[in-house]
Amino acid sequence: MSHPSIHARTDPAKPALIVAETGETISFAELDARSNRAAHLFRARGLVASDTIALMLENTPEFYDIAWGAQRSGLFFVCISTKLTAAELDYIVGDSGAKMLIVSASLTGSAGTVRAETLRFVVGGSVPGWESWEDAVAAQPDTPIADERAGIDMLYSSGTTGRPKGVRVALPEDPDMAAPTVLMMLARGLYGLGPDSIYLSPAPLYHAAPLRWSMTVQRLGGTVVMLQHFEPEAALAAIERYKINASQWVPTHFVRMLKLDAAARARHDLSSLKVAIHAAAPCPVPVKEAMIAWWGPVLYEYYAGSEGNGLTTIDSAQWLEHKGSVGKAAYGVLHICGEDGVELPAGEEGLVYFEGGGVFEYHNDPAKTAEARNALGWSTLGDIGRIDKDGYLYLTDRKSFMIISGGVNIYPQEIENRLITHPRVADVAVIGAPCPEMGERVVAVVQPVDMAEAGEALAAELTAWCRAELSGVKTPRQIDFSAELPRHATGKLYKRLLRDQYWAEPATTV
């Protein structure tokens, strides 16, 4: 059993949270008091166990106050991306049934037409029509509520291929808010996280991995160092300044740090770092090779989803022997199945399924929930992959991203992995666009390091770069340029937005 409230009693002055950019520090005693006030406010406004709240905040200390307050009140807490439009936020608040919405002052303009019955609070400012979160919690006691009960997050998919869907799991069977969790056991067993951890969280907290892993570190008595915004050199500086020994990243973080000049990369002492976990998207082999060469064998990768239905893991030594793999199953049993639902032998590509992992449902979408399961009850996130003879999983791409050109299945990830290694490419997305002859044609939308270089010459150079390693059918037939791609701050591309542009107006480029 472990929980911030326990550490507040045993080591009250220890930092539970440090804001990297400012040095602002919240001790375990302060986090306990602040989350107690949040819990009292929830009860004072009529919220009871199994009710839902929603929050849309930047990376601020209040994020943890609210999340832990909800966790110790038996609530479902929905963490919403700060990048969403008013319509998208309204949809999630309504779909989740949230009775309270808590929003940063700078984001209230995105609140749209939230239902009148939804309680509305603003953090970090005064906005007409919104109640001040700070004023409301200041009037509450800092002692525990009488009916503490474990709550849990309810997160929505990033909507990269359609409308976001809420991933809902049951409230923990053990109502004790300090009861052990699967993630706690994995964090300790796989990565050695614990009270000595000083953990850097560089990504937005509204995403599953930063939220769940940083809260797990606090459960275990470690210190979370939170970046308000990711900047490549600022992240390296934070590792040095705070003697970070554990951290979590996504491949786009690696790409941006690797594109720093040699002087900037060498400027910071990273020797304290013992564990650098990464996930969220497949990491191109050359990128991971470069990171291991730079940081040493401290990289640990996993594959999982917000659904919590399974987990694979791999360390640096294993990866160097199985380059491109996302590891072996650490939670649940892996299976690869064909379109007919029949399990495939080692080496063949198909849908990745987990057996015996966590049970989930897509909120208000029984059809999608059913679609994610096969006749045996195994569940899939919609990813395509294969398992080698040693049990290591290799991801090909998401099924929904597959391009069919002239009857040939083409997976964009392989093409993206090639293009991102070009020194003049900052980001890239590969999609299928309509083609009268072939059905779909391969289009690469490239964000150059320098937008001034965008043009026919760079497109020709990138085409040749692809042809050097990829077959003709995989080489993009069209390369367009964009100053910025619609990428989620957690590293996932909103490919749906790009694809819609091409399919709505086939001749249009971005």
The predicted structure's pLDDT at residue 107: 92
In the chain, CATH 3.30.300.30 sits at 402-504
Q: Mean pLDDT for each consecutive 10-residue tract of the chain (510 residues)? A: 95 98 98 98 98 97 98 97 84 94 91 80 93 97 97 79 78 91 93 98 93 97 97 97 96 91 95 95 89 98 92 98 96 93 93 94 90 92 93 86 78 90 94 84 95 96 94 92 82 78 58
The predicted structure's pLDDT at residue 281: 76
Which 8-state DSSP code applies to residue 327? B
In the chain, CATH 3.40.50.12780 sits at 4-179
The predicted structure's pLDDT at residue 509: 37
Coil, strand or helix: which one is 33?
helix
Task: Decide if 248 contacts 277 (C-beta within 8 A).
Answer: yes
Residue type, 504: A
The predicted structure's pLDDT at residue 73: 98
Write the class of the CATH domain 402-504.
alpha beta
The predicted structure's pLDDT at residue 126: 92
CATH no. for 4-179:
3.40.50.12780
Coil, strand or helix: which one is 371?
helix
Residue type, 51: D
Measured on CA atoms in the order 111, 117, 119, 122, is the torsion positive or negative? positive
The predicted structure's pLDDT at residue 162: 54
Report how far apart, in Å, the C-alpha atoms of 339 and of each of 299, 343, 366, 374, 438 are: 34, 10, 20, 10, 23
The predicted structure's pLDDT at residue 440: 86
The predicted structure's pLDDT at residue 252: 84
Which 8-state DSSP code applies to residue 441? E
Residue type, 308: G
The predicted structure's pLDDT at residue 491: 66
The predicted structure's pLDDT at residue 507: 40
The residue among 299, 310, 300 whose CA lies nearest residue 354 is 310
